[in-house]
Structure 1
């Protein structure tokens, strides 16, 4: 059985401030080590549960965060960008299930460092009327490949938001959110122990899970943080302006929809 582990950083135990998520400062270096430790815990648990192959997708920021020389050598790693499938790259390689490790709540929620894809540019993302965060968007992308989400870890707000989307998936709470940059966190070692056990326990039940699917045609409504960002995004010919900060577009699949969102995210750097 092949498992894909998609690793973000905002939901990792101990991470509570944006400085811990951005390259160029000592706090980031410590946080990326904690991120690597949680990935290793998921790898160990997956193999203990019977996995025959594990792929780890480095899914935060520039997708170059994991300390590869500290990663369990039994796993393969997807690192660097751009990628067509973004945080879910690797799911196309005949995977049986996805583990979401270190994920966070969607934009405008009360979760720690909550955002959706790009905190500078995106205020909300709705697909066929349902507001989705990164877990929902990429979980639906995995669903197009027939792959279910079996495990997810992050803060309590993320788990409460995401659990209805992935019934049967195991959730590991690494911290409790008390604001955007405030939490009560488990010790990193305790979080790793819980993730390892959950990763082991999830594997025998993978065949019982249903992939999360959003059936087309797909309509995406994107609300930007400012009207200027909507001005920029609507330079793309098939974007339709709804109001000052809202635009919409159609997509034939989640693969196409996610690629468009990631292209818009990249465009937004023109306005930084």
Structure 2
């Protein structure tokens, strides 16, 4: 059984401030070590539950945060960008189940460091009329490949909103949010123990998991943070502008919709 572990950083135990998510400072170096530790806990649990192969996808920022020399040697690591499948790269390689580690609430929620894809460009995203965050987007992408999400970890806001989409998933609540940059967290050691146990159970019971299915073609609605972003994005003829900050497009698949969103995210750096 082959398991893909997609690992973000904002939902990792102990992470509460943007400085911890950005390279170039000591706080980030500690946070990326905690991130690697949680990835290793999931690898340990996956193998204990019966996995025969594990891929770990570095899914934060520039996709090169995890420490390869500290990763469980039984796993292989997916690093770097750009990638067509982004946070779900590896799901196309015959994967049987996905785990989402260190994920966070969607943009405009009250979760710790909550955002959707790009915190400086996107305010809200809807697929086929349903508002989604990164877990909803990439869970749907996994479902398009016939792969279920088995386990996920993050703060209580993330768990609550994602459970509504994927109630079969085993969740680990690494911390509870008091606001965007505050809350109460498990220790890294306690978080790792909980993740390892949940990962093992999720793999053992994988037959009970379901795929998150999305009808196609996909209708995507996007609300930008500023009218300037909508001005820029609507230079692309495929996009239709609805008002100052709202635009829409259609895509043949979830994969195509996510690739479009990631392209728009890259375009947004022109405004910085």
TM-score in terms of structure 2 length: 0.99
Which secondary structure state, in structure 2, belongs to the residue aligned with residue 102 of structure 1? strand
Tell me by how many angstroms 1:205 deviates: 1.3
Alpha-carbon separation, structure 1, partners of 2:175 and 2:208: 28
1:224 aligns with 2:201: no
Q: Which residue of 1 aligns with 2:136?
A: 136
Which secondary structure state, in structure 1, belongs to the residue aligned with residue 98 of structure 2? strand
1:126 aligns with 2:126: yes
For structure 2, which runs of at least 5 residues remain unmatched after alignment? none
Tell me by how many angstroms 1:4 deviates: 0.2
1:172-187 superposed matches below 5 A: 172-187=172-187
Which secondary structure state, in structure 2, belongs to the residue aligned with residue 23 of structure 1? coil
1:12 aligns with 2:8: no
Alpha-carbon separation, structure 2, partners of 1:244 and 1:48: 51
1:22-41 superposed matches below 5 A: 22-41=22-41
Q: Which residue of 2 aligns with 1:267?
A: 267
Alpha-carbon separation, structure 1, partners of 2:244 and 2:164: 32
For structure 1, which runs of at least 5 residues remain unmatched after alignment? none
Offset from partner CA, 1:131-179 (integer Å, 9 cap, x none): 0000000000000000000000000000000012112110000000000
Alpha-carbon separation, structure 1, partners of 2:57 and 2:11: 15
Offset from partner CA, 1:7-62 (integer Å, 9 cap, x none): 00000000000000001111000000000000000000000111000000000000
Q: Which residue of 1 aligns with 2:69?
A: 69
Alpha-carbon separation, structure 2, partners of 1:174 and 1:143: 25
Q: Which residue of 2 aligns with 1:202?
A: 202
Alpha-carbon separation, structure 2, partners of 1:45 and 1:210: 20
Alpha-carbon separation, structure 2, partners of 1:200 and 1:207: 13
Which secondary structure state, in structure 2, belongs to the residue aligned with residue 264 of structure 1? helix
Q: How many residues align?
A: 272
Q: Which residue of 2 aligns with 1:82?
A: 82
TM-score in terms of structure 1 length: 0.99
After the TM superposition, which segments of 4 or more aligned residues of structure 1 sit over 6 Å from their partners? none
Aligned-residue CA RMSD (Å): 0.5
Which secondary structure state, in structure 1, belongs to the residue aligned with residue 125 of structure 2? strand
Alpha-carbon separation, structure 1, partners of 2:164 and 2:208: 16
Alpha-carbon separation, structure 2, partners of 1:166 and 1:241: 31
